[in-house]
Amino acid sequence: MVYDEDLADRIRELLATERGVLEKKMFGGLAFLIGGNMAIAASGQGGVLVRVDPEQSERIVRTTKAEPMVMRGRAMAGWLRVAPEDVATKRQLEKWVRLGTGYARSLPSKAANKRR
């Protein structure tokens, strides 16, 4: 499945004032990186893939409709999938963009090593 280009445009719009955003095709979708760290992606499986603090993953999964990202049969702490219907409105999507960008900003920058 190809990522939803309209969803990518909506994410792009929400990140318009964010400094240092790079876009990169990864995980079968279009990822948005801040300081070289992935914040959120329009997923090739539909919906979004969001990077959050691994220590908060379980709480976020318990209190929202997000699910852990599973890679090679293993749940990945700090990586969450959110279904398309749960990012259908601007308000819903803003929440996940805010979580992803907040965590990406908290990480050491990789941007100097990743510039094109």
95 occurs within a structural domain:
yes
Helix/strand number for the chain, H first, E second: 4, 6
69 occurs within a structural domain:
yes
114 occurs within a structural domain:
no
pLDDT, tens digit, 9 for 90 and up, residues 36-67 = 999 999 999 999 999 999 999 999 999 999 99
- The CATH number linked to 68 is 3.90.1150.30
Q: Is 25 helix (H, G, I), strand (E, B) or coil?
A: strand
pLDDT, tens digit, 9 for 90 and up, residues 75-104 = 999 999 999 999 999 999 999 999 999 999
- Residues in a beta bridge with 33: 22, 38
76 occurs within a structural domain:
yes
Tally of domains within the chain: 1
pLDDT, position 110:
84
Q: Please, are residues 114 and 33 in contact by the beta-carbon 8 Å criterion? A: yes
86 occurs within a structural domain:
yes
- Rounded average pLDDT over 4-33: 95
115 occurs within a structural domain:
no
Q: How many CB atoms lie within 10 A of CB 81?
A: 20
* Residue located via tokens 């749960």: 86
Side-chain-side CA neighbours of residue 12 (13 Å): 10
113 occurs within a structural domain:
no
